[in-house]
């Protein structure tokens, strides 16, 4: 876009990062340079060169030109507000510019500055038959409309549109060729696939269907919102998460590169999957309105839509426009609408239901209706299972009493269900987009529901709390022993807590009103904090001191007098804890030693004053920096001196404290809790004789 500074007026690049590769020894980045250009309106332009190595490389403060609040001109350094950039986009005054070319040379990446030939090759006329469908003006998970991208075709470059329209149209040609080949070998033409046919015509329809799916799949890496991963030196598909966000520097992947995004690779991948499918059983898939269908004879297992998290139908249009173009002649009824049907989608979309209140009511009524219908007609001799996982941002902002979960659980219970069991499961990729550099949820939790007893009695708040405090500690211990990630503990505890709450016909408050699900969730979370605090009593005195000190001061120094008072209450001298290697006392101040500052040559076998705190910090550091195999001998050696179960419990407790004050600490202790089962298994393979003797090379750690 043009720099708004009247004294400048250069075409300023909007770039998130100049880095092309951050791989060690292969570093490369784009270096922008302002050069004279008599043909440019401002008499200047920004040229781009490729530099290698780290000399002159972008730093955190100099990398890219655009961020969350706005951009900076590389020529005059003027700041440009994001509001102005959006306005320019809506006026059609933001364009794309080629800044680098990535090539494959001898199975490695080569980065080249763009030439005139590269630029001319990208100047393709937009196909007249490109999708003209509108994107929603507002929708969950969409951010691009604010920048003037209002049609689905706007999400692609003209060259990408030319490729996708060509590939989509070739699906029909391929079907005719397959049909001709099948007839040539003597197959009967027969009925079409949608009419239940199994002969040549149906076979050609099936092949074309798979080809159409492959073409639509390439759109995920063949659009103008594909990002570049400079840590992995490869393109990252748009739907690495369920959203269409604004992207400033994007990658235009070649559809013939024999890599991800290549239409032939997508086709081969699909063919490989088909080879692995069992052919002995005929599968059927049917589309129904869940609130209307009959569930008799059905075992129900569902992952329901989650309140306002994802606009599934709006996002589906991205692929639908290409599927419809390629496959409407074959599946006319399935693709009869211009875009994906949306009216009955059970998601709380404010823009579709007259605001937040209308959206909430639509979701609540619809959700309760579905579960009431299931209760009326599903098999009574089997439970139903419901999968759930918190949206990360919502967990951080609202905790376990969030609107989405309160609505979800209330709908189940109002429909007559009781929660009888929960199981945490690992269901998410550890490297998915949302988890990179965050304490993202590592598990889903499965709720087991059975119809609530018709004769269920009511109770009051005191009765509910008493039952909760009796049953929650045992359930929590089972979850911790199952090595559920600390980050998942809060929402996993909802299960046993709601099992208590939902067994009653209702829980009555002091004023006679029924307790809301939101209140119950808050009480469950409070009970969880109390149980975790009670577990502190099983720790040694040094660890109890460190835990209390960390809760108050973290790693910061505080007055020695405060430490002395706390230590006296626990009957543990500050000097002895300093000798034990968990804290430093200097010049009237005391501070805990960060895990990253602990000595690398620490040997638990030789430590005269070992504590659970010390072992937890050393294990967390070792696991994070060197991995499970390196941390296993340390755990094995420590296990000869202390109770490792206490270390695991402390990791959970430290995560619970750290998430409120230090995300890096939370990530450190969450990793230890998450990997505990695998780390423990690896430590069991370590020779215990050597562990007891300390002859494990610990001095080299």
In tens, the pLDDT along 332-373 reads 999 999 999 988 888 888 888 888 889 888 988 998 999 999
Mind giving me the DSSP string for 576-609?
HHHHTTSEEEETTEEEEPPGGGS-TT--TTT-SS
In a domain, 641, yes or no: yes
In a domain, 357, yes or no: no
175 and 324 co-located in one domain: yes
Which stretch of DSSP H or E encloses residue 666?
A: helix 663-674
217 and 319 co-located in one domain: yes
236: β partners = 227
34 and 170 co-located in one domain: no
Spatial contact of 320 and 340, defined as CB atoms under 8 Å apart: yes
Range in 175-189, 294-308, 478-492 the model is least confident about: 478-492
528 and 602 co-located in one domain: no
Tell me how far apart the alpha carbons of residues 614 and 609 are, in angstroms, rounded to a whole number. Answer: 10
Tell me how far apart the alpha carbons of residues 503 and 537 are, in angstroms, rounded to a whole number. Answer: 32
**pLDDT value for 689:** 47
b/e burial code for range 39-58 (CB count within 10 A of at least 16 → b): eeebebbbebebbeeeeebb
The structural domain count of the chain equals 4
In a domain, 250, yes or no: yes
pLDDT tens for each residue of 399-445: 444 566 677 788 888 899 998 877 766 655 544 444 444 444 445 67
Q: How is residue 6 written in tokens?
A: 């009247």
388 and 496 co-located in one domain: yes
In a domain, 360, yes or no: no
Tell me how far apart the alpha carbons of residues 201 and 207 are, in angstroms, rounded to a whole number. Answer: 10
Mind giving me the DSSP string for 21-89?
E-STT--EEEEEEEEE-TTSTTSEEEEEEEEESSTT---TTTS-SB-SSEEE-TTT--EEEHHHHHHHH
In a domain, 495, yes or no: yes
688 and 547 co-located in one domain: yes
418 and 552 co-located in one domain: no
Tell me how far apart the alpha carbons of residues 243 and 241 are, in angstroms, rounded to a whole number. Answer: 6
In a domain, 110, yes or no: yes
556 and 513 co-located in one domain: no
From 69, 88, 121, give the residue that closes a domain. 121
38 and 70 co-located in one domain: yes
**pLDDT value for 3:** 96
Give the predicted TM-score (pTM) of the model. 0.74
Range of the domain at 244: 124-279+308-339
pLDDT tens for each residue of 373-400: 999 888 878 899 998 765 544 444 444 4
In a domain, 346, yes or no: no
Spatial contact of 486 and 427, defined as CB atoms under 8 Å apart: no
Spatial contact of 521 and 406, defined as CB atoms under 8 Å apart: yes
Which residues are CB-contacts of 60 (< 8 A; sequence separation ≥ 6)? none
239 and 221 co-located in one domain: yes
532 and 613 co-located in one domain: no
Q: How far does CA 10 lie from the centroid of its chain?
A: 38
Q: In a 3-state reduction of DSSP, which class is residue 284?
A: coil
In Å, how far are 147, 230, 529 from 67, measured between CA atoms?
Answer: 15, 17, 38
Tell me how far apart the alpha carbons of residues 270 and 289 are, in angstroms, rounded to a whole number. Answer: 29
> At 221, phi and psi to the nearest 5?
-115, 5
pLDDT tens for each residue of 239-267: 888 889 999 999 999 999 888 888 899 99
Tokens 């590269």 sit on residue? 118
Which residues are CB-contacts of 307 (< 8 A; sequence separation ≥ 6)? 347, 348, 363, 403, 404, 407, 408
From 121, 141, 176, give the residue that closes a domain. 121
From 102, 121, 140, give the residue that closes a domain. 121
What's the start-to-end Cα distance of the chain, in Å? Answer: 53
Which residues are CB-contacts of 258 (< 8 A; sequence separation ≥ 6)? 264, 265
**pLDDT value for 437:** 41
662 and 550 co-located in one domain: yes
In Å, how far are 254, 271, 356 from 266, measured between CA atoms?
Answer: 13, 9, 40
Tell me how far apart the alpha carbons of residues 701 and 600 are, in angstroms, rounded to a whole number. Answer: 5
pLDDT exceeds 50 at position 578: yes
In a domain, 248, yes or no: yes
pLDDT tens for each residue of 314-326: 999 999 999 999 9
């Amino acid at each position: 876009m043009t720099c708004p500074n009247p004294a400048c007026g250069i075409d300023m690049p909007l770039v998130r990062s100049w880095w092309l590769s951050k791989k060690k020894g292969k570093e490369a980045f784009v270096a922008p340079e302002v050069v004279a250009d008599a043909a440019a309106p401002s008499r200047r332009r920004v040229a781009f060169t490729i530099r290698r190595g780290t000399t002159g490389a972008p730093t955190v403060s100099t990398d890219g030109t655009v961020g969350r609040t706005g951009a900076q001109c590389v020529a005059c350094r003027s700041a440009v507000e994001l509001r102005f950039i959006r306005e320019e986009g809506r006026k059609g005054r933001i364009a794309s510019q080629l800044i680098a070319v990535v090539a494959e040379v001898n199975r490695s990446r080569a980065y080249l500055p763009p030439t005139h030939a590269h630029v001319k090759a990208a100047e393709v006329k937009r196909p007249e038959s490109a999708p003209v469908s509108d994107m929603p003006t507002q929708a969950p998970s969409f951010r691009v409309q604010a920048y003037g991208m209002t049609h689905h075709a706007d999400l692609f470059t003209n060259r990408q549109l030319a490729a996708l329209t060509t590939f989509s149209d070739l699906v029909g040609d391929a079907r005719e060729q397959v049909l001709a080949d099948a007839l040539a070998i003597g197959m009967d033409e027969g009925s079409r696939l949608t009419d239940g046919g199994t002969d040549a015509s149906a076979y050609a329809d099936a092949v074309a269907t798979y080809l159409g799916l492959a073409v639509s799949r390439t759109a995920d890496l063949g659009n103008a919102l594909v990002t570049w991963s400079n840590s992995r030196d490869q393109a990252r598909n748009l739907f690495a998460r369920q959203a269409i966000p604004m992207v400033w520097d994007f990658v235009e992947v070649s559809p013939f590169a024999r890599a991800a995004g290549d239409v032939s690779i997508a086709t081969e991948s699909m063919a490989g999957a088909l080879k692995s499918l069992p052919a002995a059983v005929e599968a059927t898939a049917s589309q129904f309105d869940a609130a209307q269908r009959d569930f008799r004879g059905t075992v129900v297992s569902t992952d329901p839509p989650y309140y306002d998290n994802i606009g599934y139908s709006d996002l589906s249009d991205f692929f639908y426009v290409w599927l419809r173009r390629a496959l409407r002649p074959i599946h006319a009824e399935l693709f009869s609408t211009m875009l994906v049907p949306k009216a009955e989608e059970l998601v709380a979309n404010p823009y579709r239901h007259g605001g937040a209140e209308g959206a909430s009511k639509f979701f609540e009524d619809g959700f309760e209706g579905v579960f009431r219908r299931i209760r009326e007609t599903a098999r009574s001799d089997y439970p139903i299972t419901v999968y759930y996982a918190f949206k990360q941002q919502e967990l951080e902002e609202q905790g376990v009493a969030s609107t989405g979960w309160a609505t979800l659980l209330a709908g189940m219970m109002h429909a007559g269900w009781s929660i009888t069991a929960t199981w945490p499961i690992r269901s998410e990729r550890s490297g998915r987009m949302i988890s990179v550099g965050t304490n993202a949820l590592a598990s889903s939790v499965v709720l087991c529901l059975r119809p609530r007893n018709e004769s269920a009695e009511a109770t009051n708040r005191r009765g509910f709390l008493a039952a909760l405090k009796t049953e929650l500690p045992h359930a929590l211990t089972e979850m911790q022993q199952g090595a559920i990630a600390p980050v998942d503990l809060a929402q996993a505890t909802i299960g046993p807590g709601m099992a208590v709450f939902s067994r009653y016909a209702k829980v009555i408050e002091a004023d006679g009103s029924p307790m809301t699900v939101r209140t119950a969730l808050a009480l469950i979370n409070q009970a969880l904090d109390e149980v975790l605090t009670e577990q502190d009593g099983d720790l040694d005195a040094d660890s109890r001191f460190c835990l209390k000190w960390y809760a108050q001061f973290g790693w910061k120094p505080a007055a020695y007098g405060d430490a002395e008072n706390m230590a006296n209450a626990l009957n543990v001298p500050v000097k002895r804890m300093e000798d034990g290697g968990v804290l430093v006392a200097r010049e009237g101040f005391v501070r805990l030693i960060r895990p990253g500052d602990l000595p690398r040559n620490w040997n638990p076998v030789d430590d005269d004053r070992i504590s659970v705190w010390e072992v937890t910090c050393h294990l967390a550091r070792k696991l994070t920096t060197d991995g499970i195999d390196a941390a296993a001998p340390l755990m094995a050696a420590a296990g000869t001196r202390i109770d490792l179960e206490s270390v695991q419990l402390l990791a959970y407790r430290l995560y619970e404290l750290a998430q409120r004050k230090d995300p890096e600490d939370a990530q450190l202790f969450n990793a230890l809790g998450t990997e505990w089962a695998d780390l423990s298994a690896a430590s069991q393979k370590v020779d215990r004789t050597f562990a007891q003797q300390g002859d494990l090379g610990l001095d080299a750690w």
